[in-house]
Structure 1
């Protein structure tokens, strides 16, 4: 998958990278590479749990066997699908923000190929989850999605990201998040299916609302006026 990109770390090196990444990400939340490093160096037990769940799921096993990648070469056909489909909704989400599926940082600090793939998969399906839950990419939207990601994967990085994100809220944003979005995200993350076991690319052609019902996904409520 990403041969030659990974770095082997001993225990102290993992701690150093984790602490440095956490501090750097708090200072500049736009540093996706630091957030990724934090997730990898603190998330091995969580990724191992996700890996075992994927192995127990027929669809999850198919993902592990075929190792699909969310890169434009593989998902570009979504831009040509009918507007009611999940694939078209994903393409619209990406296109409206000028995002590219090729922009995700590589996995560097996982010590097996299987765990490296699970970590990359978690990173690459992030925008699928934005699409399915109808969440924007502003600070509140990203923090709400991190709550769902924590519910789904128990990654420490997600919990730390919510703390770091909420520290940057204005008083109005903080009230909106904790009274409106946070309770919804807790319920939404618990209610939905095991989202890491979904082979999303095989469902691009299906109706978005049908998939939300199938996977138990409750889209984000509109912000109160």
Structure 2
């Protein structure tokens, strides 16, 4: 009965199941996150998330334009002023040994696939502007922020998985995770839409200026 209901929701059970099991084993496994999201791509929840974000006129224009930024040139960004978004982005990724193009690519065929690609492309920028670290706590805080701003179903799955793993593996950390989740959601509800921003066209702007404009305390 449960599996029949899940099929009616257009969930790719194999992809979601594989990703969920892998994520519970290793919370830092990025591929498992993409497996879950790809499995939820055709759900009504994802379609409603697109409808939700497109209520904002600036986001709707971005969707219509299908704006996709070119891959960032970290060497060029490191020549920008030290307080700029571009410099901080490049120096942070370089110090951590992160590849800015690490994310799983998506062929853009509709609004849903465009939204997924754009969110994956700007994930690290959202981390910097919100101030959430790339730790497990920080990722969950950012997922709460994303949930408030986009209603992205993957955010709900990851938050639930994070809470479940904390309860079973590290219940003493529950207060910290709940604090980050609460902080992220409140911040997401009050901040201006991140999905509407063409960050890559204004790398030179100070990070502090971005935060002030978008309402990030």
TM class, shorter-length: 0.7 to 0.9
Question: How many equivalent residue pairs?
Answer: 205
> Displacement of 1:200 after TM fit?
0.9
1:207/1:175 CA distance change after superposition, 3 Å: same
CA RMSD of aligned residues (A): 2.8
1:119/1:25 CA distance change after superposition, 3 Å: same
Match in the other structure for 2:122:
125
Q: For residues 205 and 60 of structure 1, what CA distance do their matches in structure 2 show?
A: 25
Match in the other structure for 2:69:
69
Match in the other structure for 1:7:
none
1:187/1:47 CA distance change after superposition, 3 Å: same
> Displacement of 1:153 after TM fit?
1.5
Match in the other structure for 2:79:
80
Match in the other structure for 1:154:
151
Unaligned segments of structure 1, at least 5 residues: 1-9, 219-225
Q: For residues 48 and 129 of structure 1, what CA distance do their matches in structure 2 show?
A: 22
> Displacement of 1:91 after TM fit?
1.5
Match in the other structure for 1:138:
135
Match in the other structure for 1:212:
211
The structure 1 residue matched to 2:16, chosen from 15, 18, 23, is 18
Q: For residues 63 and 203 of structure 1, what CA distance do their matches in structure 2 show?
A: 19
Match in the other structure for 2:112:
115
Q: For residues 25 and 157 of structure 2, what CA distance do their matches in structure 1 show?
A: 13
> Displacement of 1:78 after TM fit?
2.2
Do 1:25 and 1:31's aligned partners in 2 also have CA atoms closer than 8 Å? yes
Do 1:43 and 1:157's aligned partners in 2 also have CA atoms closer than 8 Å? no
1:26/1:63 CA distance change after superposition, 3 Å: same
Do 1:149 and 1:158's aligned partners in 2 also have CA atoms closer than 8 Å? yes
Do 2:49 and 2:151's aligned partners in 1 also have CA atoms closer than 8 Å? no
Do 1:18 and 1:41's aligned partners in 2 also have CA atoms closer than 8 Å? yes
Deviations for 1:16-42, whole angstroms, at most 9, x for unmatched residues? Answer: 322332223222333322211211322
Q: For residues 18 and 101 of structure 1, what CA distance do their matches in structure 2 show?
A: 25
> Do residues 34 (structure 1) and 35 (structure 2) align?
no
SS at match of 2:215: coil
Quick check: 83-92 or 34-43, which moved more? 34-43
Structure 2 length-normalised TM: 0.80
Structure 1 length-normalised TM: 0.77
> Displacement of 1:57 after TM fit?
2.7
Q: For residues 119 and 66 of structure 2, what CA distance do their matches in structure 1 show?
A: 15
Q: Select the structure with the greater relative contact order (CA < 8 A; seq sep ≥ 6).
A: 1
Do 1:72 and 1:100's aligned partners in 2 also have CA atoms closer than 8 Å? no
Match in the other structure for 1:187:
186
> Displacement of 1:173 after TM fit?
2.3
